[in-house]
Amino acid sequence: MTRRQITRNAVRLGVTASTGLLAAGLVAAPALAETDTADGRLVRTASGPVLGGIGTDVREFNGIPYAAPPVGSLRWTAPRPVTPWSSPRDATKPGPVCAQSPYNKPVGSTVSEDCLTVNVTTPRDASAAHKKPVMVFLHGGDLTTGSGSQFEPRQMAAQGDVVVVTVNYRLGIFGFFGHAGLPGSGTFGLQDQQAALRWIRRNAAAFGGDAGNVTLFGQSAGAISTCGQLTSPAAKGLYDKVVIQSASCGSYIPTLMLGQQAPTTTATTKWKPLAEVDAQGGALAKELGCADAATAIDCLRGLPTDRLLPHTEEFSSGAYGTPTLPQNPEAAIRAGRFNRVPTIIGHTRDEGRMVTTSLVNPAYGGTPMTEQRYVRLTDQAYGARAADVRRHYPPSAYAAAGDQWAPALAWAAIETDRTTVCPVLRDADALARRTSVHAYEFADPNAPTWTAFPEGFPAGASHISDLTYLFDVNRPDGTPVTLDAAQRALAGKMIAYWTAFAHSGAPDADGAPAWAAYASGTRHVQTLAPTRIGSVDDATEHQCAFWNTAE
């Protein structure tokens, strides 16, 4: 069956993207002899054989190490080659998630610094004779939490006829710590991602993947990471296309996170100059009793994981002015200094509503949002510009949801437009001047949520909700995400777009509406909703003329 037939059938049938797809047909690998490879459960990688699971339409290989454990003397070093093995390695379960705080960690998962693994899902017929495009997904989580195994790509692999790889990379203090004189300072997580991409180039063919056709895609912090790889000289040649979801290459989701009540949204970025990251690490070394500059790194490497974890969220920015990132990626994109590959970039329509729930949800210490509180918050975040911001986002404009939620929705709209949508469109403009770009807005007003929202709060198309249409997922608390019939149809079309892009560099999916390329300076992107797929004036809808002038 050709790719165009696959996408046509998937869109016509509205194939489900809800949790549990194909799970009943997936069989864990028994203890097989190394010579028993007829059914495809045994794959020989460059490091050694792995034994996975096989289902009706896919094969799965989980928890495969792509680098040596970054522990002990290897903590805060560039990723090293994995020690080869000769006996078949069990690849039926994901490896541990990388060391992180409890927020966003999947319930029941094991946490470890020994976490540099990939999960590979292939169509059942992928082979050296039937090589498929490879899609490599980088998870989000503010560069401090999350894991690749949270996102199950069976639907994407089977429907789209692609090999999908999800990646764990070092997070927080273990991935982005810096200290004067430390090689790789502030970029270890990004180096891990590059090591995973090199592993994929070496091993794609063994899984039936085409090493010459690799699409790198990420969401939120994974999108930020993708921007970093787009501008990193060290990543050139490791991928052929990119997808950037729900984050720009510079400005990012606000510093207001779940459980925090003090927004400072006017200068948020995920990139810091090396000197700043090194100074931050030096100050922490002194705090932890490792003040001697000559022995500080050895001293810190001797500390247990639990001693460092309380400081992990202090290191959530990649360092530039380094071999990995010579320049701030935002500035590099604007100057045209990036790897010029076909790109999809976009956002959800209501990005800011997820974070806003922390202001009003008692589960996160929130309290009701009154108009008076809305004034205080905007004053705190925008200072002298606050009154002008309120004129553009009056709570009365959101009263259709009820007076109880109107001020909170006004705040969420500010967060959506200022910190995600308008910066994403500025990136789309810069990229489109030098390479092909397709832009989108995910806009299902009833999309499932990733975290708990207060009863009655209209979540809309909130941050992360688009991923439930591309992957089978369980929320961090273990509850499954399900879609209704109209949402499943949209999921089928979105997967068709994403995987058609992986095949050809353009999201041309049979049976789905045409998606025009984005032209620099235009206002129109592809809206993706159950009731409508087509062009929308994104910049006007999200008041980007105001924000671009105010910057």
The rounded distance, in Å, linking the Cα atoms of 239 and 502 is 11
Whether the pLDDT of residue 33 is over 50: the answer is no
pLDDT at residue number 551: 59
Q: Once rounded to an integer, what is the mean pLDDT over residues 422-432?
A: 95
For 104, the 3-state DSSP assignment is: coil
In the predicted model, what is the mean pLDDT of residues 197-216? 97
Q: How many residues does the chain have?
A: 551
What's the pLDDT score for residue 266? Answer: 41
Give the residue-averaged pLDDT of 350-364: 85
Q: Which of 447, 438, 445 is nearest to 512 (CA)?
A: 438
What pLDDT digit, counting tens, does each position of 396-425 carry?
999 987 788 999 999 999 989 988 999 999
Give the DSSP letter string of 60-77. Answer: EEEEEESS----GGGTTS
Determine the pLDDT at residue 379: 86
433-475 pLDDT, tens digit per residue, is: 999 999 999 999 999 998 888 888 999 999 999 999 999 998 8
Q: What is the pLDDT of residue 438?
A: 98
Least confident stretch, 61-65, 390-394, 401-405, 529-533: 401-405
pLDDT of residue 105: 75
User: Do residues 104 and 220 make contact, with C-beta atoms less than 8 angstroms apart?
Assistant: no
DSSP secondary structure string for all residues of 254-321? -S--TT------SS-BSEEEHHHHHHHHHHHHHHTT---TTTHHHHHHTS-HHHHGGGGGG--SEEES
Any idea what the CATH number is for the domain that residue 533 is in?
3.40.50.1820
Is the per-residue pLDDT at 427 higher than 80? yes
Cα separation, 517 vs 428, in Å, equals 11
- How does pLDDT run across 316-350, given as a tens digit for each residue? 999 999 999 999 999 999 999 999 999 999 999 99
Tally DSSP H helices, then E strands, for the chain. Answer: 18, 20
Q: Per residue in 77-113, pLDDT tens?
A: 999 999 999 999 999 999 999 999 887 777 778 999 9
Most confidently predicted of 15-24, 292-301, 360-369, 377-386: 292-301
Find, among 191, 171, 186, the residue nearest to 282 by Cα: 186
Residue 30 reports pLDDT greater than 60: no
Distance (Å) of CA 378 to CA 52, 352, 367, 394: 52, 14, 16, 11
The string of pLDDT tens digits covering residues 272-291 is: 999 999 999 999 999 999 99
pLDDT for 373 beyond 60: yes
Mean pLDDT of the chain: 89
Burial of 477 (0-12, 13-18, 19+ CB in 10 A): exposed
Per the CB < 8 A criterion, the answer to whether 348 and 444 are in contact is: no
Which of helix, strand or coil describes residue 52?
coil
- % of the chain beyond a pLDDT of 70: 89
Q: Is the pLDDT of residue 1 over 80?
A: no
pTM of whole model > 0.75?
yes
For residue 34, what pLDDT is reported? 39
What is residue 129's predicted lDDT score, i.e. its pLDDT?
Answer: 81
Mean pLDDT of 53-82: 97
Q: Report which of residues 141 and 478 the model is more confident about.
A: 141
Query: In the prediction, which pLDDT does 15 show?
Result: 41
Q: How far apart are CA 230 and CA 477, in angstroms?
A: 33
Sole residue written with tokens 């997070």 = 171
Taking residue 306's Cβ as centre, other Cβ atoms within 10 Å add up to 8
The type of residue at 460 is G
Q: Is the pLDDT of residue 371 over 90?
A: yes
User: 534 lies in which domain range?
Assistant: 3-550
Q: Which of 181-185, 454-458, 497-501 has the lowest mean pLDDT?
A: 454-458
Higher per-residue confidence, 382 vs 254: 382
Work out the pLDDT band at 149, boundaries 50, 70, 90: very high
Q: Where does 161-273 have alpha helices with state H? A: 172-176, 188-203, 221-231
* pLDDT for the residue numbered 478: 83
Question: How many Cα atoms occupy the beta-carbon half-sphere of 31 within 13 Å?
Answer: 1
Domain count, the chain: 1
Residue 519's pLDDT is 93
Confidence label for 38 from pLDDT (cuts 50, 70 and 90): low
Number of Cβ within a 10 Å radius of residue 379: 15
Q: In this predicted model, which residue has the larger pLDDT, 29 or 316?
A: 316
Q: Is 220 a catalytic residue?
A: yes
Measured CA distances, 479 to 238, 363, 440, 450, 476 (Å): 35, 17, 28, 10, 8
Evaluate if residue 265 carries a pLDDT over 50.
no
Here the tokens at position 212 are 């010459």
pLDDT of residue 268: 56
Which of 47, 220, 316, 462 does the annotation list as catalytic? 220
pLDDT of residue 35: 36
